[in-house]
Amino acid sequence: MNMNVEDQLSRPLRDLRISIMDKCNFRCTYCMPKEIFGKDYVFMKEEELLTFGEIVQTANQFAALGVNKLRITGGEPLLRKNVEELIQELNQIEGIDDIALTTNGVMLPKLAKSLKEAGLKRVNVSLDALDTTVFQEMSGRATKADVVLRGIDAALEAGLGVKVNMVVKRGLNEQEVVPMAKYCKDRGVMLRFIEFMDVGQTNGWGYSKVVSKKELHTLVSEIGPLQPVDHYYFGEVASRYQYEGSDVQVGFISSVTETFCGTCTRARLSADGKVFTCLFSESGTDLKEDLRAGQSDAFIKEKIKTIWENRSDRYSELRTAESSKNRKKIEMSYIGG
Ligand code: SAM
Ligand code: SF4
Ligand code: SF4
């Protein structure tokens, strides 16, 4: 029987984001800027990554504590070999009714079909611009946006649910907001705008570079009036709107200007087996050593339970320009977005 645990602020544990790979084939300016994550950056060694067996064992214990949704992320999760096998195994876990994956989309033309067959329900594809120059500037690579668009098409063809995520950074891609919204509306796909966040230590974040939900909403309303839609479930991060006269929705993840820590039910497992209770954590609690020492499931479960029960994070509610600078936050690519 699965149980429920609550943290210090009475928030249940419901979601687990599993980073399966810290490496990435992109160098997005807001996540892994190439000047910093260049040749000298040390990524995890193969043996440091949790094996699929270890990930499944851990996810089982999270499920036993009330987690019903899993999201596979990274780094770029589709760079991990045989990721379909992992999805298939995670899909067998009792209590898990939703498995999604966040990707930059480059590998989707090759993998969408087999991911769907393995039991994946949905993908969130990150795409910050349609214009080639802007896209390349955002992603730090020469790949063209067309490759990601083909990835989106492949996911739709395979029958996967598709949402597109767009991070908007002032001075870089605001001019792409309306073209992206039109493109997604025409494809019948939900586009979610993500406010640029101060994750990690390297992305040069400042309030002046955040394009707020309010501004984004005004820009998108150029296409047509937007009607608010009720939240689907407790802890949903996006506020959603529907274009008048259409069933296509658009969402806003306003992690900076309208925070949602009060309903945050998400835990994160890094690729090397550490549990983090907040995207802005400075440190995590290691499980890999316990897993490799052959500790029992009951031990792992109790350890996770204690971590969650001690949790009181609400970084976004407390964020100031000062706190953003002074805190030694873990990089997004490591902790899993
Ligand atoms: N590589 C995959 C991708 O890009 O979709 C998965 C990992 S990525 C870290 C997960 C999500 O975090 C992406 O949608 C990305 O745009 C978002 N992200 C990364 N850095 C961010 C930042 N500083 N502010 C807001 N969102 C960010
Ligand atoms: Fe890679 Fe995703 Fe980070 Fe971009 S946002 S650098 S695709 S992990
Ligand atoms: Fe959750 Fe931390 Fe983000 Fe608040 S800041 S919503 S607690 S991950």
Cβ of 200 closer than 6 Å to ligand 2, yes or no, is no
pLDDT of residue 139: 96
In whole angstroms, give the CA distance from residue 158 to residue 152: 10
Q: Which atom of ligand 3 is nearest to the CA of 319?
A: 5
pLDDT of residue 258: 86
- Of the candidates 107, 147, 95, 102, the one whose C-alpha atom is nearest the C-alpha of residue 120 is 102
Within a domain: 59: yes
pLDDT of residue 1: 62
| Dist. CA 30 → ligand 1 center (Å) | 8
Tokens read off for 261: 């820590």
Give nearest CA residue, ligand 2 atom 8: 75
Within a domain: 7: no
Alpha helices (H) along 127-174: 132-139, 145-158
pLDDT in tens, 233-275: 777 888 999 999 999 999 999 889 988 899 999 999 999 999 9
Do 119 and 56 contact (CB within 8 A), yes or no? no
Write the DSSP symbol of residue 233.
S
Within a domain: 177: yes
Cβ of 316 closer than 6 Å to ligand 3, yes or no, is yes
Residue with tokens 């876990």: 93
Rounded (to 5) percent helix, strand, coil in the chain: 35, 20, 45
pLDDT of residue 322: 72
Within a domain: 3: no
Within a domain: 6: no
pLDDT of residue 331: 83
Global confidence as pTM: 0.95
Q: Which atom of ligand 3 is nearest to the CA of 279?
A: 8
Give nearest CA residue, ligand 1 atom 15: 126
| Dist. CA 127 → ligand 1 center (Å) | 10
Within a domain: 226: yes
Q: At 187, which helix (H) or strand (E)?
A: helix 177-187
Residues with CB under 6 A from ligand 1: 24, 30-31, 73-74, 76, 102-104, 126, 165, 167, 194, 196-197, 199, 203, 332-333, 337
Beta bridge partners of 72: 18, 101
In whole angstroms, give the CA distance from residue 250 to residue 245: 13
Within a domain: 186: yes
CATH code, domain with 329: 3.20.20.70
In whole angstroms, give the CA distance from residue 243 to residue 90: 35
Beta bridge partners of 163: 124, 190
pLDDT of residue 127: 98
**Domain of 319?**
15-335
Q: At 168, which helix (H) or strand (E)?
A: strand 161-168
3-state SS, residue 47: helix
pLDDT of residue 41: 77
pLDDT of residue 318: 85
pLDDT of residue 326: 75
pLDDT in tens, 144-174: 999 999 999 999 999 999 999 999 999 999 9
Residue with tokens 């899909």: 91
Do 306 and 13 contact (CB within 8 A), yes or no? no
Give nearest CA residue, ligand 3 atom 6: 261
Segments of the chain with pLDDT less than 50: none
pLDDT of residue 75: 95
Return the ligand number nearest the Cα of 260.
Answer: 3
Do 20 and 241 contact (CB within 8 A), yes or no? no
Within a domain: 216: yes
Cβ of 151 closer than 6 Å to ligand 2, yes or no, is no
Tokens read off for 111: 């993998």
Q: SS3 for 68-102, per residue?
A: CEEEEECCCHHHCCCHHHHHHHHCCCCCCCEEEEE
Cβ of 28 closer than 6 Å to ligand 2, yes or no, is yes
How many structural domains are present in the chain? 1
Do 310 and 280 contact (CB within 8 A), yes or no? no
pLDDT of residue 2: 75
